[in-house]
Amino acid sequence: MKDIFHSTGFKALIIAVFALLGLTLTTAGAGGASVSDAIGFLSTPMERISTLITNNAAATAQDAAQSKEELAAENARLKKQVDELNRKLIRYYTYQQENAQLRKFLELKNENQDFKPVSAAVIARDPANLFYQFTIDQGSDAAISVYDPVVTESGVAGWVSSVSANYARVTTILSPDTKISAADKVNREGGVVSCDIRFADQGIVKLGLLSEKTAVKKGDIVVTNGLGGVYPRDLAVGTVRAVKNDPYDVSLYAEVTPFVDVKNVRDVMVITSFQGQGETLDDGASASSPQTAASAASSSGAGGK
């Protein structure tokens, strides 16, 4: 016990107690001002810090509100710019497509001064149609009529089967409704290009009504011969890939791979007028339908659409 009173820690505690007592008596005699001053001295910096934090928070909130409005205005301005750029891009692609179409068909037009062509783009396809019928973006307002031939720079694609003011439907070369009076360009032997579901599945057509002694052979090019008044002369149809016996009669036929892939074609040209259009071999009368033209051409050993 005696050792505790003589320890350094105990002595320090006594000194601290007397110092605190002296401070209390001094401040009591001064009316407590020193305590207030001491408290004020300690609290003032804290108040300043609190005020500064509060002011900064308010300024930050105001800046955030202004920034939000500025960001909204900037987003609106940028969206307007994007919309305008999209419109310009659409116009650019439209002009690009039109120019590409014109370049493709210019040579054909130069070689056939009697043609009155109308460029058109494929805008829809009928998924239920087994023969790849498609719709183009031009119609009667562009002078397109039913039975007008439809071609590309590669050759025959089909014919206009129905028309409205601003669009038209095209029956393709793979349809059984299509019959084209044609000839082998190498030896000029004539026949009728037609198709059925079996050939359409393979993406080919046939050149029928060939004689038993036909000179048509693999690799020959088949073109339209102009009979029937539906297609102009010398439009490319396709290439012979084989010559076979017709199982239904004594004639032969040639399997022909079309030059135009009607399943994927995107741009076409409709020939609205050409020399000899609507003329039949018999009497020059107007060919009122594909069947009429086909009958006229078949009677002369060839066919029409």
Per-residue pLDDT tens digits for 245-269: 988 777 899 999 999 999 999 999 9
Worst-scoring range by mean pLDDT, 203-212, 261-270, 273-282? 273-282
| Tens digits of residue pLDDT in 125-138 | 988 899 999 999 99
3-state DSSP assignment of residue 117: strand
Maximal CA-CA distance, the chain: 150
Distance CA 214, CA 212 (A): 6
What is the Cα–Cα distance from 80 to 59, expressed in whole angstroms? 31
CA separation for the pair 298, 37 (Å, rounded): 123
pLDDT the model gives residue 251:
85
Q: Which pLDDT belongs to residue 226?
A: 92
Q: Does the reported pTM lie above 0.85?
A: no
> Residues 158-165: what's their mean pLDDT?
98
Interior angle at CA 138, CA 137 and CA 141, nearest 5: 145
Q: In this structure, which amino acid lies at residue 228?
A: G
Q: Are strands 190-194 and 180-184 parallel, antiparallel or unpaired?
A: antiparallel
